[in-house]
Amino acid sequence: MKPSPGAKAPPASPSVTTAGFRRAMSAGAWAARLADVPVVPLRRQVAETASSPLPDDMPMTLWAEDGFHLRVRDGRVLLLLPTPGAADAYDMSVDPGWLDAVTRIAAARVPALAGVPVARAWAGLYEMSPDKHAILGAAPGRAGLYLANGSSGHGVMHAPALGQLLAEIIVDGAARALDVTPLAPGRFAEGRPNPAGGLL
Ligand SMILES: Cc1cc2nc3c(=O)[nH]c(=O)nc-3n(C[C@H](O)[C@H](O)[C@H](O)COP(=O)(O)OP(=O)(O)OC[C@H]3O[C@@H](n4cnc5c(N)ncnc54)[C@H](O)[C@@H]3O)c2cc1C
């Protein structure tokens, strides 16, 4: 990101220069390939039924003991069951054994789903940080590099806030809307992690 011609100069800040480029890196599960950031991939798989026998307005429903959960979307049901991930952490294929397990569990817990075929399944990668919280701010020791990484599987929900906060950090030199100290990139090296509890 470079100041646009005629843009008002940002307030003086140790992390902001008006001459140099400033770059934001948000490479998700691949972030550690681009910078020294403690983010690792974690595969998450989804199965989608061909139709739905459930009410359209059924809320997302979660079984706390193993994290199995379902969502009714557009006349289909999304089935999700967390696992510890694949042997190759970047593997985004769907494990046939997982597919068997998630459909069996769905039928056992929601009998209306028994016999409803799965139309398709896919997998993606969560971008896990050590404490399962985002890593946001200036990269330690890398002038001009800013990080928005490690949302740990809740990045869609947090993206608007993280985007605004990182823009404030880049332009103003500090986040204004919220105190983002608990998300500081240096917190792991400084022994100040901010551990989260459960994860879907
Ligand atoms: C199955 C599944 C279900 C999910 N459900 C939810 C949910 O319900 N709610 C929620 O909040 N979150 C959910 N998430 C998590 C959410 O998708 C992530 O937290 C979010 O996408 C992270 O955003 P990001 O921009 O950091 O990374 P990403 O969305 O992963 O984007 C990173 C991008 O960087 C690109 N990239 C990587 N390396 C390079 C490079 N060298 N050069 C250029 N580009 C590069 C990648 O191609 C990718 O497009 C889910 C994730 C999965 C896998």
pLDDT digits (tens, 9 = 90+) for 143-197: 999 999 999 999 999 999 999 999 999 999 999 999 999 999 999 999 999 988 7
- Termini Cα distance of the chain: 34
What's the CA-to-centroid distance between 125 and ligand 1, angstroms? Answer: 7
The model's confidence at residue 17, banded by pLDDT at 50, 70 and 90, is: very low
The model's confidence at residue 62, banded by pLDDT at 50, 70 and 90, is: very high
d(CA 156, CA 58): 21
Nearest residue to 150 (alpha-carbon basis) of 39, 42, 44: 39
Total H helices, total E strands in the chain: 2, 8
- Cα 84 to the chain's mean position, in Å? 16
For ligand 1, atom 46, which residue shows the shortest CA distance?
27
Query: What's the pLDDT score for residue 80?
Result: 98
Ligand 1 atom at minimum distance from 27 CA? 34
Query: Do residues 41 and 125 make contact, with C-beta atoms less than 8 angstroms apart?
Result: yes
Query: What's the pLDDT score for residue 180?
Result: 97
The CATH class of 1-39+130-200 is alpha beta
Query: Do residues 47 and 79 make contact, with C-beta atoms less than 8 angstroms apart?
Result: yes
d(CA 31, CA 7): 30
For ligand 1, atom 15, which residue shows the shortest CA distance?
153
Q: What is the mean pLDDT of residues 37-55?
A: 98
Q: What's the mean pLDDT when you consider all of the chain?
A: 91
Tokens of residue 96, six digits: 């046939």
Ligand 1 atom at minimum distance from 45 CA? 1
Among the four given CATH numbers 3.40.50.300, 3.30.1360.120, 3.30.9.10, 3.30.420.40, the one describing domain 41-128 = 3.30.9.10
What's the CA-to-centroid distance between 99 and ligand 1, angstroms? Answer: 22
What's the CA-to-centroid distance between 150 and ligand 1, angstroms? Answer: 9
Q: Which residue spans of the chain are classified as CATH 3.50.50.60? A: 1-39+130-200
What's the CA-to-centroid distance between 29 and ligand 1, angstroms? Answer: 7
d(CA 85, CA 103): 18
For ligand 1, atom 18, which residue shows the shortest CA distance?
155
What's the CA-to-centroid distance between 127 and ligand 1, angstroms? Answer: 7
Q: Which residue spans of the chain are classified as CATH 3.30.9.10? A: 41-128
Q: For 68-88, how does the pLDDT look when each residue is reduced to its tens digit (9 = 90+)? A: 999 999 999 999 999 999 999
Query: What's the pLDDT score for residue 5?
Result: 44
E runs forming strands in the chain? 23-25, 40-49, 61-62, 69-73, 76-80, 118-128, 135-138, 145-149
Indicate whether 4 pLDDT > 80: no
**Which residues have any ligand 1 atom within 6 Å of their CB?**
26-30, 34, 44, 46, 124-127, 151, 153-157
- Read off the pTM: 0.89
Indicate whether 91 pLDDT > 70: yes
